[in-house]
Structure 1
């Protein structure tokens, strides 16, 4: 129709002159007809196009969605191994014997017979206090003993003479009794004088200060020429270093666990290892030999003590150390990789691959295991397949594609799901 209108317009265009007004009116009528036709055709075309889209969408929605592949996870088997259970603590070193050397008499301090820090033996001479006053005191007490003995000898003669006179009735009985009493007083004087002499000799012996134990001697706090006395303070300290003991607090929960496991095997069933302050492992091991009968109410812990050899003197009194207590006899326990363990507000748990490759959550109670592993005390049996990698992409109940860790290269990542 548009083509015919154009032809009519072209046929009328050459005409000019007075009749041109009629031709313009006819052209305006033809344009109005074309606009009306377009206004009808456009909505119809749009309606057909929309209907076609709806049909395609309907057909697309009626088709089932494409099946997504199960996510791949790396799994490891919970293994049963023979492991000596252990627990870590923090403790201190204490000397089995530690003696503070003090003066026991008052006097001027003389020579010192040791080097600070050296090893000394029991009975070794350490200090000497001025001896002359004490030697003089011994001499004086000795003289008093001799005087008392002379008086006792005279009293004995008097008693014998009075006894003879009493036998012949030449002296009264009262005189004899008096002589016997005087004899007793003289004998008591001898005993007292001898005791004073003994005390003086003891004090003279105290002028030589000797080590009461074998061990390593510390720093001398008082130098030669000073007056020392029992109240003057500590002269030095001698510490026995081999063997030595370590003490560490253990919570009641851990203590009950140890007692239940090893009470039938005795104290030797628990072995103690020491970590030195630099992090290295001490070569010697010891055994628990004492558990305190009282519990600290503020920390709910009991003090445990172990004795350990110290031939090289690496452990010193008061030293801060790490302690590992472990059983002598290995125990059969379930072990899993530490990478399989997850923790939330409730506590530790693991995800395992169960029947039908479905993910299951298991709450576990863990203990300390070898490097990179954890001991499962409860909540999981040996043989369970725990997820070690890819657990963040799955939830309990999801179906997964398990892949053993042995099949994955050491540096390879966890494969991503296809698609």
Structure 2
């Protein structure tokens, strides 16, 4: 049996219509809106907590330097003691300084006697000159002697002040409350103002903890030095891993950002009654913000960054994509705190941003609508 051969004749006009229909269908497919994963912005407590390495520093540190020369007679403390402000620390031999004070006082008394006589003499010469009993030259000489003696008295009084100061410096008192270190000289040594410091006193209560805060954290969390002082909540974890029982306060911050690290040094002050913190020690500073309040938050993947700053894609009521610049704050888990530019309940694209652009219409899909 001879096979039947079927012949199909394709007319040019019909083929062109077929291609046109196929292309139109492809274009309609391309015009379909993209599906993107979205979520509603939520409201979270803007809980801020940052940890920074800290270094313990003394607020005040004083070296005790002798101001006069003499034999060191006594040191009235033990090395390593806590000393109080105004406490007697050292005694230097004072015999010559007492004698200098007495000599200055004696000189003043002599001059005061001479001035009394010179004043009386001048007044007498002045009366006699009025009746032509003495010459005017004698009056002027008596006045000149009086003025010279008064000048000598001023000089003697200045010498007495210096002598009294030198005598006072033979007793050295603590200028602050703190821990005193080792003695440089034992008693019996002759010391002078050019000698090495006798000892060093370090204030330990209260005490500083210095830590570097990044410029980004400083600006995003507080914005300025006043806000940092008023709204920073401070605690520290000491080297042993214990939480330090005393809270801290911001004492000061540096006046410039370190260009190499983009950080700002901050000094926090802590009470240190039990001296658990020692100058030179280390601690971990835990910084949080008081009364941070609630603010909008979104999944981290929603936030994009470019040269203009941070931004997100928000959908309007017609599911049209709108680019929205935002200011970001801290993170909480996988959520990014948005300090401005977003309200709770707004719909934000969190995945599929590469499929769309501002002005495009999309099909929003929420996570709970995804197939399990």
TM-score by length of 1: 0.61
**Deviation, structure 1 residue 147:** 2.1
Matches of 2:144 and 2:77, distance apart in 1: 55
Matches of 1:374 and 1:230, distance apart in 2: 64
- 5+ unaligned residues in a row in structure 1: which ranges? 1-76, 347-364, 387-398, 403-419
1:415 maps to none
1:56 maps to none
Matches of 1:374 and 1:94, distance apart in 2: 37
1:200 aligns with 2:163: yes
Matches of 2:170 and 2:187, distance apart in 1: 14
Contact 2:248–2:271 (8 Å) recurs in 1: yes
For the residue of structure 2 that corresponds to 1:169, the secondary structure is: coil
Alignment of 1:79-118 (within 5 A): 81-82=44-45, 84-118=47-81
**Deviation, structure 1 residue 299:** 2.5
Among candidates 154, 179, 201, match of residue 216 of structure 1: 179
Matches of 2:160 and 2:329, distance apart in 1: 72
Among candidates 294, 305, 309, match of residue 271 of structure 2: 309
Among candidates 244, 258, 276, match of residue 296 of structure 1: 258
Among candidates 97, 112, 120, match of residue 83 of structure 2: 120
For the residue of structure 2 that corresponds to 1:216, the secondary structure is: strand
Contact 1:333–1:375 (8 Å) recurs in 2: no
**Deviation, structure 1 residue 105:** 0.9
Matches of 1:103 and 1:201, distance apart in 2: 16
Q: Deviation digits for residues 297-340 of structure 1, max 9, x if unmatched?
A: 33332221222221211112232222121112244468999xx9
2:232 maps to 270
Among candidates 281, 293, 307, match of residue 319 of structure 1: 281
Among candidates 336, 342, 354, match of residue 376 of structure 1: 336
For the residue of structure 1 that corresponds to 2:244, the secondary structure is: strand
2:241 maps to 279
For the residue of structure 2 that corresponds to 1:231, the secondary structure is: coil
Alignment of 1:18-417 (within 5 A): 81-82=44-45, 84-260=47-223, 267-332=229-294, 367=330, 369=332, 373=333, 375-377=335-337, 402=372
**Deviation, structure 1 residue 286:** 1.2
User: How many residue pairs end up in the alignment?
Assistant: 289
For the residue of structure 2 that corresponds to 1:294, the secondary structure is: coil
**Deviation, structure 1 residue 145:** 1.5
Matches of 2:287 and 2:184, distance apart in 1: 38
Contact 2:183–2:199 (8 Å) recurs in 1: yes
Matches of 1:123 and 1:264, distance apart in 2: 35
Q: Going by fraction, where is helix more abundant, 1 or 2? A: 1
Matches of 1:142 and 1:302, distance apart in 2: 57
Compared CA separation, residues 258 and 78, structure 1 to 2 (3 A) = closer
**Deviation, structure 1 residue 78:** 10
**Deviation, structure 1 residue 94:** 2.2
Higher-Rg member (1/2): 1
**Deviation, structure 1 residue 185:** 0.7
Matches of 1:278 and 1:135, distance apart in 2: 54
Matches of 2:61 and 2:199, distance apart in 1: 11
Contact 2:46–2:330 (8 Å) recurs in 1: no
Matches of 2:183 and 2:232, distance apart in 1: 40
Contact 2:89–2:174 (8 Å) recurs in 1: yes
- 5+ unaligned residues in a row in structure 2: which ranges? 1-39, 307-327, 351-368
Matches of 1:374 and 1:131, distance apart in 2: 73
TM-score by length of 2: 0.68
